[in-house]
């Protein structure tokens, strides 16, 4: 409420009319030690997805319709003054669902966020984990725990009149159990990605997992990746573990202890071991970090 009032006060001071506006953001920094078997170093690092500032706006249009907009910027790193666009989309929602146009979180990234991306520090994620531009997305209303999303990316990359990427997901969530299926057809890179994910909670214990297949049509081998995570809450502390096993790339194991000072502020200790499937030397990363959201 305070953030909305501040934004409205600023708009009023500038003599302009405004819809409801909310300022939001996150700042995270970590002291990080890396050992790749050859060199070791200490560094202060900043995870770009967790460092951002944004503005959300909404307006009641009547007849059950609401317009919305979201613009945010990533603060790239602790050593850079540059910023890049995180969100930049506008849309409308009502009883029919929600339609958004612009730059936003991708359909398959939302699957990753919901199933395996549970760490505050170093984490595991799905392959298609980037924000996407030039997107038109539709999300259905939630009907007894069942919902779906579909998005098309159309940026002319193929030089043809068809869309460049089509992605969709179907999910179900009811109480402690949720499951999701997602498919993405990338016509630019000529590959298709399928993800099956699920989470289940048993009181203070939650377990999640995802199985992902990337089918390459350029002669390179397909890639299968299995990911599992678990988290156990002990009061204001949460113990988390994660493991990811791809056909190629790096096997990853992560353990983290998070302490929640409040709803918006936490600190964590994170350890990650990354082991190339080729048998090359492991890389061990240790982090002590803090994050505040507003």
For residues 285 and 47, the answer to whether their CB atoms sit within 8 Å is no
Q: How many independent structural domains does the chain possess? A: 1
pLDDT score for 169: 97
Q: Which residues of the chain have pLDDT under 70?
A: 1-18, 76-81, 156-163
User: d(Cα 164, Cα 143) in Å, to the nearest integer?
Assistant: 30
CATH of the domain at 184: 2.40.160.10
d(CA 71, CA 151): 19
| Domain extent at residue 131 | 2-293
- Name the maximum alpha-carbon separation found in the chain: 64
SS3 content of the chain, % helix, strand, coil (to 5): 10, 60, 30
Q: Which residues fall within 8 angstroms of residue 79, CB to CB, at 6 or more apart?
A: none
Please report the pLDDT score of residue 157 as a whole number. 57
Q: Are residues 254 and 124 in contact, defined by beta-carbon separation less than 8 angstroms?
A: yes
């Amino acid at each position: 409420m305070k953030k909305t009032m501040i934004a409205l006060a600023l708009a009023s001071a500038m003599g302009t009319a405004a819809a409801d506006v909310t300022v939001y953001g996150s700042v995270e920094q970590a002291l990080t030690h890396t050992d790749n078997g050859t060199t070791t170093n200490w560094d202060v690092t900043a995870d770009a997805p967790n460092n951002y500032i944004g503005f959300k706006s909404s307006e009641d249009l009547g007849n059950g319709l609401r317009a919305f907009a979201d613009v945010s910027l990533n603060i790239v790193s602790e050593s850079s003054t540059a910023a890049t666009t995180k969100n930049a989309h506008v849309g409308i929602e009502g009883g029919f669902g929600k339609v958004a146009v612009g730059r936003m979180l991708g359909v398959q990234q939302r699957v990753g966020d919901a199933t395996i991306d549970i760490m505050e520090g170093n984490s595991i994620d799905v392959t298609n984990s980037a924000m996407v531009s030039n997107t038109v997305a539709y999300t259905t209303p939630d009907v007894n725990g069942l919902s779906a999303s579909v998005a098309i990316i159309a940026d002319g990359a193929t030089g043809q009149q068809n869309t460049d990427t089509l992605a969709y997901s179907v999910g179900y969530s009811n109480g402690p159990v949720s499951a999701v299926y997602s498919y993405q057809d990338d016509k630019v890179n000529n590959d298709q990605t399928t993800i099956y994910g699920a989470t289940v909670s048993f009181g203070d214990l939650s377990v999640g997992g995802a199985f992902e297949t990337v089918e390459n049509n350029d002669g390179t081998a397909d890639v299968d990746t299995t990911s599992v995570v678990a988290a156990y809450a002990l009061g204001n502390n949460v113990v988390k573990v994660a493991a990811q096993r791809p056909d190629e790339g790096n096997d990853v194991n992560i353990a983290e202890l998070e302490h929640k000072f409040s709803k918006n502020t936490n600190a964590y200790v994170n350890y990650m071991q990354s082991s190339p499937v080729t048998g090359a030397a492991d890389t061990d990363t240790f982090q002590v970090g803090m994050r505040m959201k507003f």
